[in-house]
Amino acid sequence: MNIQRTLAIVKPDLFCRGDGAKQAIITKMRDHGLSVVATRRVERWHIEEARRFYGEHKGRFYFPRLIHHMTSAPFEVYVLQGEDAIAKWRRLMGPTHLEKAKLNPDSCRGMFSRSDTKNAVHGSDSPQNADFEIGIFFPDITPNPAPEENN
């Protein structure tokens, strides 16, 4: 088994819709074998923290819009754990772009996206990014289990 941990964010656009929308995402996570290891509500994210987190997107046309969105309102962050958690969560999230997300109506983004930026959720895209992202929000949590924990 390949047990992994990954970071999931319920972005401000979805978080501000209330508990029903957020609960639908959490239910989807759990129904697909992902356990929530940790949760953190972020009331206000400092702009420099957001820039560091999304640093790989710096220089892209959407970067300022993304930073503005993520620092505009509260959101919630989760550490998820499960078999192939990174790939599984990314499949559940669905495509980033709104038009493609609409073609996957059962995905999180298919259900809740409003635009390419306000696309409801975020998820780590690799084990290295999962470790980095988990470390930002949960510095006391071991990002990914040691290999011997995977047996």
- The residues carrying an active-site annotation are 122
Neighbours of 55 (CB within 10 A): 11
CA–CA separation, 24 and 113 (whole Å): 14
Let me know how many helices (H) and strands (E) the chain has, helices first.
Answer: 8, 4
Estimate the crossing angle of helix 19-31 against helix 85-93, to 10 degrees.
Answer: 140
CA angle 100, 127, 31 (to 5 degrees): 60
Left if phi > 0, otherwise alpha if psi is -120 to 50, otherwise beta: which for 18? left
Q: Which residues share a beta bridge with 64?
A: none
